[in-house]
Amino acid sequence: MGQEQSVIDDDTPPKSLADRSLAAVADYIKSGKARRIVVMTGAGISTAAGIPDFRSPETGLYANLAALDLPEPEAVFDLHFFKQNPKPFYVLAKDLYPGNFYPTVSHVFISMLAEKGLLCQLYTQNIDCLERAAGIPSELIVEAHGSFAGQRCIECKTAYPENLMREHVARAEVPRCIRYPECSGLVKPDIVFFHEALPSLFYERMDLTISADLALVMGTSLQVHPFAGLPNMVPDRAPRVLFNMERVGTLGSQADDVLVLGDCDTGVRKLADELGWRDELEEKWRALVGHKEAKRQLQGMKKRIEGIQDEVSRLADEVEEVLRLGHDGSADEANSVIQPPSRDPEKEKSPEDGQEDRQEARTGEAEEKDQAET
Ligand code: OAD
């Protein structure tokens, strides 16, 4: 862990930190210079809890769905596809639904920042509600891609009761509007699918990053805009720390960027050590998740990855089965013609442009793919 992939030249001195290390970040916090910390998170902070991320090559959900007869793996979270065939999403929802997982050390560290009055805002792309479960006050959380906390009809927007939703999800069944037969719209959790607008709260709170004095970016590939643009809004003088398996986005390009590459719980524990918060962190986490779960999360990374691999390939098998049924005509009425999700390059803008749709980042590769499709 450390600076091995930093694109900043070793000869370029940091501006706000003594050096580009976790010890210097801890000193910066302890000296009172970090009173407005913003945290930006993605699926990587929940993998230790047993929830697969999306884009990791072996264990990611999309990698494992790639072999199936979907227009593309992301289609499971695409509104156009969902309207044609909601069943694959509900197969996944059964396993991803909140209540089956416990917060990780990384979640609890963020809740400690809140308790100490240092957390300005947490922006999460995760839909697992583990931030809430870790005790982070809801007013400090922006769930940029929504969550499973509510659900409604996609046609008339009528809210759908949580108990009924839970029952449907448990059976991997597709719920329909409670106003049936007046409305027979599909019901969807308040998760932001591709081609849907982000919650207005994201745009209202986005500017808090401009006044941040420290940013922690954790467990995200920064592939999905507009969220991916958030770290770039943090002012130059504010250190940005990346806790991730790999270098992502522009992290590592500024004088006060610190790269902590590897498992984020391990990185967070190191920062907690430097801050003198380690005992408190472990105590809070264990009290929250219990001994058995703590032991499970602490088991070797290799074993954990194997567990996620099994889980993800089982999920992929279930989705495949649903797709197969759709093709031989024995699936429910909603399984009809599958259209590839359309991608509109016109809508690809940064958060500064006030973009409202979630889109994949425009990498050269994505553009090539689009050209091939048209
Ligand atoms: P990704 O799967 O794209 O990226 C997860 C990142 O976390 C990768 O860079 C991994 O290397 C890293 N990672 C995985 N486990 C880690 C660990 N234990 N410690 C440190 N890093 C780890 O997930 P997101 O960036 O969250 O939409 O994806 C963004 C959005 O794309 C999601 O919100 C999702 C998806 O479409 C929906 O939920 C509907």
Per-residue pLDDT of 185-203, as tens digits, reads 999 999 999 988 999 999 9
Q: Kindly give the residue spans of alpha helices, DSSP state H, lying in 101-161.
A: 105-115, 130-133
Q: What pTM was computed for the model?
A: 0.85
43 C-beta closer than 6 A to ligand 1: yes
For the segment 341-346, the average pLDDT, to the nearest whole number, is: 35
53 C-beta closer than 6 A to ligand 1: yes
For the segment 208-212, the average pLDDT, to the nearest whole number, is: 97
CA of 55 to the centre of ligand 1 (A): 6
124 C-beta closer than 6 A to ligand 1: no
Of 293, 370, 245, nearest in space to 101 by CA: 293
- Please determine, for residue 71, whether its predicted confidence score (pLDDT) is greater than 60: yes
* Burial profile 265-290: b = 16 or more Cβ within 10 angstroms, e = fewer: bebbbbbbebbebeeebeebbeebbe
User: Is residue 168 annotated as part of the catalytic site, yes or no?
Assistant: no
Catalytic residue among 107, 145, 195, 225: 145
* Burial profile 68-105: b = 16 or more Cβ within 10 angstroms, e = fewer: bebebbbbbbbbbbbbbbbbbbbbbbbbbbbeebbbbb
> Rounded CA gap, 212 and 234, in Å?
6
Pocket test for ligand 1, best of 45, 54, 297 (most atoms within 8 A of CB): 54
SS3 (DSSP) at 37: strand
For the segment 196-213, the average pLDDT, to the nearest whole number, is: 96
264 C-beta closer than 6 A to ligand 1: yes
Fold of 4-48+101-146+199-279: Rossmann fold (3.40.50)
Pair type for strands 187-191 and 214-218: unpaired
Q: Which range among 5-14, 121-130, 217-226, 331-340 shows the weakest confidence by mean pLDDT?
A: 331-340
CA of 222 to the centre of ligand 1 (A): 8
* pLDDT of res. 5: 46
For the segment 348-364, the average pLDDT, to the nearest whole number, is: 39
For the segment 268-272, the average pLDDT, to the nearest whole number, is: 98
**Yes or no: domain 52-100+147-191 corresponds to CATH 3.30.1600.10:** yes
Two tokens, residue 58: 């072996």
User: To the nearest whole number, what is the mean pLDDT of the chain?
Assistant: 85
- Please determine, for residue 158, whether its predicted confidence score (pLDDT) is greater than 90: yes
* pLDDT of res. 332: 38
> Rounded CA gap, 288 and 138, in Å?
18
> In the structure, what pLDDT confidence band is assigned to residue 366 with cuts at 50, 70 and 90?
very low
The answer for residues whose C-beta is within 8 angstroms of residue 301's C-beta and 6 or more apart is: 263
For the segment 191-219, the average pLDDT, to the nearest whole number, is: 95
Residue 255 CB burial class (10 angstroms; 0-12, 13-18, ≥19): middle
